[in-house]
Each structure stands twice: as C-alpha cells, then as structure tokens.
C-alpha cells in the first residue's frame, strides 16, 4: 500500500512544471495569463514557472501578441530543440526514417535502400540510415534522445535475439538492442512493426479511447497486435500477435509441412493466398492489395464478373474472420481495427463483410473498424513511443518523487 506524501515545495513545483509543459505542448504558444488560466496558477507562480522552464531550456519566447487590452503580451512555447527522436521502419528492401522534435513535428525523413543484402553490419546500416535523416536537419545522430526501430519480428526478452523474422537478414545477432545502443550511442528500442501500428491507432486513429482492442494487419504477411487494459501485450517471448503461425481450419499446420514451410493463418490469408484466391475467381493484380482493389471495383458491376468478384471478397472475408474468431474468443476486445494493404484496399466493402462473417462465428461481437491513419503507420507509432518516453524524462519529475510503501 502507498501512503500519500505531503506536498513539499519541490514536489509542488514539479507538479506545476509538468502541468504547464503539457498544456504548452497541447495548446501553445500561450501568453503568461493564458497559461495561468489553463493551469490554475496565479500570475506570480506562472511567471516564476516560466522563468524556471526557460532557464532549463524547455520553454522559449515565441514573439508577442498585439492588439490585446493592456500591454503587449509575450508568447511562450515548448522549445522544439529540447530533444529530438528518430523512428525507423525496417523491411528487407529498405529502412525508412523519420526524425521529430519534442513537439512531435517531423523535421526530416530519409529512405535507405537495402536490396539484396544478406547480412552485414546492422549497426552500420542503422547509423547510415540515421545520418541520412539527421544531416539535412543539422543534427548528429548522437544528439538524438531516443530511437525506436520497428521491424517485422520480436525481440525475445530472455535471449535478446530477434525472432519471427527470418525474412530480414542480418538482424539476428546476440543482444540486438544492447549492440545497437552501444554502437549508435543513444537509447534504442526495437519493437514489432504491427505493435507500433496499434500504438499509432490508439494515439490518433480508430482505437482512440479504447483500452482493449485487436489490430489485424494483412498485406504480404499477416499479423496482429493485442492491447489489453491499455497496454500492448507482447507475451513471454515477445511473439504475441504473430498470428501468421496460428493453426486455422483449411490450412496446413507446422506438424503437416514443417515449421519453415508455409502454414497456418499465413497460408490461408497471407499475400500469396490472397492472389491465388482472387485469381481463381478471375480477378488479377500484381500485388495482393492491387488484386483486392480490382476485386472491389469489379464487384460493383453487374453480370457474372461482378458476382464472381463479390464471391471472392466473401471468401477472403471468411478466411480473415476465421482467424479473428480465435483471437476474439481469447481476448474479447472492444473493437477490431483492420489495417495493412489488403484490408485498406478492400475498404468498407471488405470491412462490412469481415464484420458480418466474424459475428456469425463468435459470441462476443466487437465492432470492426478500418484504420484511419495516413502515411507510414509504423513510423507514426515509433515516433509516438519515442516521444512518450522522452517527454516523460523531460517533464516527468513528478514520477521521480519518493513514495512510501508498506
């Protein structure tokens, strides 16, 4: 049990500082009276607070606001150069990078092609990707406060190795996070890419306000993220949500064909299976998402071609719902968010059909929503995670205050 601690002057200052910084982050730039009104602080206290935060380099003047009664009012805002973070999205073909300041504004982006690489020094690759983004922004990678790497796999906390990622060579080294941290010289986290999409959905997308939800990602590969009680559930080996390996009716199992062969939910609903299914109904495309987009377009027409495309979409929705039904039965989410190229290409037509098929299979009937994120959702989630950690370090003096336990 934790007993409340008396409000010492230093603790009260920490509380006020954090409240003011969060208000400036969300609402700034603000005048001193506006900041006082929004935080409930008196004018003298607000003045002392701003002087303290300016001295710490966390707040800067942002000009003046004219035309108001009385004297000209100075505007204050969060100092964007107080901290910078970077996000990486790693695939076999490239590393995409975004750098943001502490306010969340993206100041630089870069894309490092990595085609046909069969390994090599992963630290050098990450350093090159960061340098390509930081250079034009006038930053050195060692000035970054935190880096979050999104990748199609998961780090096993018991071994420090990346698993579930045989398709990305070079990253399967001992103590991956420690090696990157020591080699780059800044704090680094490595997170599953679909987990990062779920993080972004909770911050700015379809999952805002929800504490229990599942995100299903379907493109070339298929995966999921589980958020339970407002927290990402990673599992004992980091592999929670790696549902591509999940046994489902209608697909071969690892016992049937071996662990390295195509099996499970991926064999039933992954990219190659989507192309084959649609081709069997006379719908073609160069990519799974392109084929689904073509199917939706043809389904809107009359005649036998339209009916065949509609049947193809029903079959695809049934396959996706079959896997979702198993997840729903265990997790019982408030909502299911659909993301990834295949599901977004299917739009409302595929969403409605997946929801109908899912509700026909399960007792819980969670709403099924499409992702509303724009741009690269992996980078968005990685930036959100990095900014949350850095802001907590900068603004979180309150959480470092002592407490008494018994």
* pLDDT, tens digit, 9 for 90 and up, residues 192-221: 999 999 999 999 999 999 999 999 999 999
Domain identity same for 70 and 98: no
Residue 403's pLDDT is what?
Answer: 38
In this prediction the pTM is 0.90
Give me the sign of the Cα torsion angle 145, 150, 154, 159: negative
Contacts (Cβ under 8 Å, ≥6 apart) of 138? none
Tokens of 57: 């380099």
Res 69: pLDDT? 60
**Collapsing DSSP states into helix, strand and coil, what is residue 102?**
coil
| Domain ranges, residue 74 | 9-79
Q: What is the pLDDT of residue 402?
A: 39
Same domain, 347 and 229: yes
Kindly report, residue by residue over 213-260, the tens digit of the pLDDT: 999 999 999 999 999 999 999 999 999 999 999 999 999 999 999 988
Q: Is the CA virtual torsion 322, 323, 324, 328 positive or negative?
A: positive
pLDDT at position 406, please? 34
Q: Which of 23, 56, 79 is the last residue of a domain?
A: 79
Q: Quick one: pLDDT at residue 395?
A: 83
Provide the token pair at 331. 């997790």
Q: Report the C-alpha gap between 322 and 313 in whole angstroms.
A: 14
- Report residues of the chain scoring pLDDT below 70: 1-7, 66-72, 116-120, 396-406
Which pLDDT value is given to residue 68?
Answer: 57
* Residues pairing with 229 in the sheet: none
Across the beta sheet with 73-78, the strand order is: 30-31, 73-78, 59-65
Q: Which of 25, 55, 79 is the last residue of a domain?
A: 79
Asked if the structure places residue 402 within a domain, the reply is no
Report how many domains make up the chain: 3
CA dihedral 328, 375, 264, 289 (to 10 degrees): 110
Closest to 325 (Cα-Cα) out of 370, 369, 355, 353: 355
pLDDT at residue number 304? 94
Closest listed residue to residue 248, CA positions, set 313, 326, 357:
326
Two structure tokens written together for 294: 């073509």
pLDDT for the residue 331: 96
**41 shares a domain with 18:** yes
Between CA 21 and CA 283 the distance in angstroms is 54
């Amino acid at each position: 049990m934790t007993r409340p601690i008396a409000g010492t002057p230093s603790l009260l200052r920490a509380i006020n500082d954090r409240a003011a910084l969060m208000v400036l982050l969300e609402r700034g730039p603000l005048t001193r009276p506006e900041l006082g009104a929004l935080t409930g602080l008196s004018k003298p206290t607000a003045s002392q607070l701003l002087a303290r935060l300016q001295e710490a380099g966390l707040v800067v003047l942002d000009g003046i606001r004219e035309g108001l009664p009385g004297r000209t009012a100075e505007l204050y805002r969060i100092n964007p150069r107080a901290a910078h973070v970077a996000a990486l999205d790693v695939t076999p073909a490239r590393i995409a990078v975004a750098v943001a300041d502490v306010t969340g504004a993206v100041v630089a982006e870069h894309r490092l092609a990595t085609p046909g690489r069969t390994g090599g020094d992963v630290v050098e690759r990450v350093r090159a990707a960061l340098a390509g983004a930081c250079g034009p922004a006038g930053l050195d990678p060692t000035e970054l406060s935190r880096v979050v790497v999104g990748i199609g796999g998961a780090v096993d906390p018991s071994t420090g190795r990346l698993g579930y990622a045989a398709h990305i060579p070079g990253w399967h080294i001992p103590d991956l996070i420690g090696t990157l941290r020591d080699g780059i010289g800044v704090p680094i986290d490595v997170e599953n890419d679909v987990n990062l999409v779920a993080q972004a959905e909770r911050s700015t997308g379809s999952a805002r306000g929800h504490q229990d939800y599942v995100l299903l990602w379907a493109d070339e590969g298929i995966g999921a993220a589980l958020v339970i009680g407002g927290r990402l559930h990673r599992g004992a080996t980091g592999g929670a949500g790696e549902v591509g390996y999940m046994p489902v009716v209608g697909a071969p199992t690892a016992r049937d064909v071996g662990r390295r062969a195509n099996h499970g939910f991926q064999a039933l609903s992954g990219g190659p299976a989507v192309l084959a299914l649609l081709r069997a109904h006379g719908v073609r495309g160069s990519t799974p998402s392109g084929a689904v987009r073509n199917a939706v377009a043809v389904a809107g027409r009359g005649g036998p071609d339209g009916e065949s495309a509609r049947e193809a979409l029903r079959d695809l929705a049934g396959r996706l719902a079959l896997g979702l039904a198993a997840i729903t039965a265990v997790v019982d989410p408030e909502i299911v968010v659909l993301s990834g190229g295949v599901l977004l290409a299917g739009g409302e037509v595929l969403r409605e059909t997946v929801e109908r098929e899912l509700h026909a299979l399960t007792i819980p009937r969670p709403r099924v929503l499409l992702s509303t994120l724009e741009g690269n959702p992996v980078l968005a989630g990685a930036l959100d995670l990095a900014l949350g950690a850095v802001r907590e370090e900068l603004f979180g003096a309150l959480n470092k205050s002592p407490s008494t336990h018994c």
